[in-house]
Structure 1
């Protein structure tokens, strides 16, 4: 799925993609918080950017490769809570609900994701469904 910089960002921030998640996905800037990284990863799933998803994954838990299900469309992200993960933190968690559509049926995934800093940038460690 292609997305224009002027389109609304899929992460649900209300901003346009070009000034929200796109610069993070393109590695022009780092996500300043764990929540910003979570939002950028959701957007990367929406646009099918496996390279960024692997880049933003902690080395010790990242898969060797990643293939996305072409029949699954991520539609909406709800951030339920965050614990730490701020500008000056070294770790944090983000609890969210990601809504999707697969093969004509709607669904959702609720997860509490863990993040930490790696080489000065936020990375996804793992999640508990």
Structure 2
């Protein structure tokens, strides 16, 4: 996994927590990362290139009027005020390549000095069999 900084940007070593989405039911993890990026006014500092993630491209999702900035499959954002690095993943991992992708992501996290990794996901509530709602 290669990390490329946006021209003129640099990664802040004080951002020691990495938050990323798991592509799951309803895209809840991705939507939560979108909300964090927007509400924290996190700045895009770069993007990740991994051969195990399907390519995609779109328009910048965080501006009211499209400025022509491309959104890529794996983008890195930082919020200096909260000390967070956020990775937004917009396309799925190639079938059968999840282990390799996870290894690459773990290597990236360690190499960039992240102390904590938080993965945001979702679960199909209909598949829960024994939930005690009385507590």
More strand by share: 1
After TM superposition, the score normalised by the length of structure 1 is 0.24
Higher relative contact order (CA 8 A, sep 6+): 2
After TM superposition, the score normalised by the length of structure 2 is 0.24
